[in-house]
Amino acid sequence: MKKVGLVYHPIYLKHDTGGFHPERKSRLEAILRQLKKDNIYSNMVLTEPKEASVEWISEIHDVSYINRVKLASSEGVSYLDTQDCPVNKMTYEAALLAAGAGLSAVDQIIQGEIDRAFCAVRPPGHHAERNYAMGFCFFNNIAITARYIQKKYKLNKIFILDWDVHHGNGTQHAFENDSNVFFASLHQDPRTCYPGTGYSEETGKGNGMGYTLNCPIPPNIDEEIYLETFMNKVIPAIIDFKPDFFLISAGFDAHIDDPLANLSLTEETFAKMTSHIVDLSNEYSNGRIVSILEGGYNLIALGNSVSAHIKVLMK
């Protein structure tokens, strides 16, 4: 059994979005409850992250924006930039620790303390743009982690797989000119789903042309078609790229029971994709995988899907 880290901090629960917001603290509570029920929690290496420094966050976000998040939180304004992004006095601290989770996981993997990691964080990150918040996200956790791997550990070829049902616009924009970070996204067709980006013709810019792969999926299709897209497009891209490190933007809102979109996956679908990534990581990147939570809003489906995902990471 592989040593899989669970990176989590109780501060995440104090980012209060209100009782009716889909991105609420009960999501993490449901995940932890299911991991304990399935006897997974006790077999993981539990880690509290350190806060990401402004230095590392500013690799992806403008310092002026970071200061805006801090000020909004300290002043207790109701939201930042969009009503999708509620703010309270603990939001900034939670966001620093969410951004730091991937960094802590990478350090542990590189130092040989764990083999892989799952970061149970909130607020999520993949919609956050360089200078504004959107889609429940403030700092782009996965993008900050990718840049950290590149700059601190000099591992240049990073593969980011985003299977959240919503396109990771912020992550794509962070790396669309970078040929050393391959961003691949499977998401519901942007004509039918937030945020309206992620068309197949979006393939990168400049030096990064060809290193962005968008796979828009029509709503309400069978999971077999989704998996065919994964096998026929994403897997060949990984094999061609031969990454040094895998990052997963692990949203579980493509589940058939999720209320915010219209795909038809099950927890078994996420387990199958994870299994392929594990095999390829063993071949190309010494098994190194950091998975960071994004969406997933049906609490039962979320708990079961994360549990299935981590079971495979442990193999």
Give the Cα separation of 173 and 182 in Å (integer).
12
Parallel, antiparallel, or unpaired: how do β-strands 45-47 and 4-7 relate? parallel
Neighbour count for residue 38 (Cβ, 10 Å): 16
Query: Which two tokens mark 150?
Result: 């590149």
Q: Residue with structure tokens 């079961």?
A: 304
Contacts of 70 (CB under 8 A, 6+ apart): 92
User: How many residues comprise the chain?
Assistant: 315
| Cα distances (Å, whole numbers) of residue 232 to 127, 223, 262 | 26, 14, 22
Residue in 9, 15, 61, 127 annotated catalytic: 127
Q: Which amino acid is at 90?
A: M
Instruction: Please say whether the beta carbons of 228 and 217 come within 8 A.
Output: no
Give the Cα separation of 217 and 205 in Å (integer).
23
Residue 20 per-residue DSSP state: T
Query: Which two tokens mark 113?
Result: 């303390």
Q: Which amino acid is at 156?
A: N
Contacts of 205 (CB under 8 A, 6+ apart): 176, 177
126 is catalytic: no
Q: Residue with structure tokens 């976000």?
A: 61
Q: Give the three-class secondary structure for 30.
A: helix
The sign of the torsion formed by the CA atoms of 151, 152, 157, 162 equals negative
Catalytic annotation, residues: 127
